[in-house]
Amino acid sequence: MIVIKKESPFKIVFVCLGNICRSPTAEGIFQHLVNERGLQSYFYIDSAGTSAYHIGEPANSKSRQTAKERGIELKSRARRFEGEDLGEFDMIIAMDHENLENIKAFDKSGSFEDKIFMLRAYDPSPGDGEVPDPYYGGMEGFQNVFDIVKRSCENLLDELEGKIEN
């Protein structure tokens, strides 16, 4: 059972492949929503990629532009998801099935499976359950991903906010 307390922030990591499009968008949106609700002291938010293609790079320029147009700044730098993240984070949220499987591959014992989720499990219109990779979809692809991620993050935060213990 999840209980969120101010003394020990609830740690969430959003995970995609390269950590330059979908997961930094989710991190930025979720952080923005947390800030809007004044819940910063209850959450630690991060993002990562299951590949090492873009380590140290900022979010994709189209992701940053789409977010900026909607009042959100994407500040993260790409990093790779590591096995230690399984124990470090309270909730690990994958953007698609491939990355879900990549995350689960780190969990050899299966002892962390109860903290690994798909983001679109929180989407009222989950489609195929995946946040699509916007990389080859032009600006429309990035805008679509932003919309999917925003509504999913809003529902996720609604659920988690109900677990805050004052």
Which stretch of DSSP H or E encloses residue 12? strand 10-16
Q: 70 catalytic, yes or no?
A: no
Q: Which one is catalytic: 70, 80, 90, 133? A: 133
Q: 128 catalytic, yes or no?
A: no
- Separation CA 38–CA 32 (nearest Å): 10
DSSP, collapsed to helix, strand or coil, labels residue 119 as helix
Name the DSSP class of 114. G
- In contact, 83 and 159? CB cutoff 8 Å: no
The DSSP string of 131-161 is: ----TTSHHHHHHHHHHHHHHHHHHHHHHHH
Q: Which one is catalytic: 21, 22, 46, 96? A: 22
**Which burial class, exposed, middle or buried, applies to 136 when counting CB atoms under 10 A from its CB (0-12, 13-18, 19+)?**
exposed
**Which burial class, exposed, middle or buried, applies to 3 when counting CB atoms under 10 A from its CB (0-12, 13-18, 19+)?**
exposed
Q: 107 catalytic, yes or no?
A: no
Q: Which one is catalytic: 16, 85, 96, 123? A: 16
Residues known to be catalytic = 16, 22, 133
